[in-house]
Amino acid sequence: MKDFRGKVAVITGGASGLGREFANTAASLGMKLVLADVQAKALEHASEELMAQGVEVLAMVCDVSKGSHVQELADSAIARFGGVHLVFNNAGVGAGGLVWENSIEDWEWVLGVNLWGVIHGVRVFTRVMLECAQRDGDYEGHIVNTASMAGLLTPPAMGVYNVSKHAVVALTETLHHDLQLVDAPIRASVLCPYFVPTGIARSERNRPDELASHERTTASQVASQMVTEKAVESGKVTAHDVARITFDAIRNGQFYIYSHPQALGTVAERFDAIVHGKPPADPYAATPQVRAMLKAGIKGRR
C-alpha cells in the first residue's frame, strides 16, 4: 500500500502513545481517520486537534475487548466514510509480576485488550475490507497488529503480557497466510516495539472497575512495574519514530516491523535454544543489570 491520500485509517488506542502518532502521520498523508479509545477526554482532545488541522475524523469511545464495540466501530466507519483501507489494532495494556502471582482479573484484563482486542479487530475488519475490495477493483488494504518484542522473547516477571503478545504474533502470521490463500488485496504486518516512551507503563489507570484485582500487590509486581517504568521512560526511540518506521514498512509491504532491530540478536538466541532443545535463553543476558534489579526488588520486599 503506497497511496494513502483520501484513504481511511482505523486506529484503536488512538488517543495517546503509538496510536496518536499513527493518527498524526496518517493525517499528514491526507488520510481520513477513525479513532477509537477508552479514554474519552484524551480521545476528544486528539480529535479536536486533528480536526482543527482540517482532518476528517470520526472518534468513538470503544472497549476493544468487547466484540460488539468493535463491530459498532466498523459499522460507523463504513457509514461515515464508505470504506476502510488501513487498520491499526493497536490498543494495549500491561501487567507484570511472577506468573503464578497474577490474579484472574489480571489475566482477563490484559488478554481482553491485548489479545481479544486484536482478535475482534481482525475478525470484524478483515471481512469489512474484503467487502470493500469486492466493490473496488483497485482496492489495497493493510492491517497492522501491535505486538511487542515481548511477543518474540519471554522476559521474566512479564508472563501475562508475554502470553498476550506472543498470541498476537501467531495470529498475525496466520492472518498473512490466510489472506494469501484467498488472493486478497490486503497485507498484514506485526509491529514489535521494544521500550518506547508511551503511557503503557501507566495503563492501570484505564483498568475497568469490574476487573480490578482484589489480591495483595506482591513484591514481584512492584519490582516489575519499577523496572518497566524505568526502561520505558529511558527509551530513545520515540512514538513518532515508530510511526514513521511503521508507515515506511506499510509502503514496502514489510511483515515484521521492529523499533529496535538491534534486539534481534536476543531473539536469535531464543530460537537457537528452541532448535537445539536447550533451556530458554536469558532475554536479559546482554543487560544483566535489569535481572539484578528485578531480583533485588523481589527479595528486598519479601
Q: What positions carry a catalytic annotation?
A: 161
Task: List CB contacts of 177: < 8 A, sequence separation 6 or more.
Answer: none
Helix (H, G, I), strand (E, B) or coil at 208: coil
Amino acid, res. 139: Y
Contact, 10 vs 36, CB < 8 A? Answer: yes
Q: Which of 200, 206, 175, 201 is nearest to 189 (CA)?
A: 175
Instruction: Report, in angstroms and rounded to the nearest whole number, the Rg of the chain calculated over CA atoms.
Output: 19
Amino acid, res. 46: A
Helix (H, G, I), strand (E, B) or coil at 65: coil
Long-range contacts made by residues 173-179, C-beta under 8 angstroms, separation at least 24?
175/122, 175/126, 175/143, 175/145, 176/255, 179/126
Distance (Å) of CA 74 to CA 78, 81, 125, 185, 277 = 6, 10, 7, 19, 44
Q: Tell me the C-alpha distance between 78 and 183, whole Å.
A: 23
Please give the grid coordinates belonging to residue 151: 511477543
> b or e along 51-63 (b: 16 or more beta carbons within 10 Å of the residue's beta carbon)?
eeeebbbbbbebb
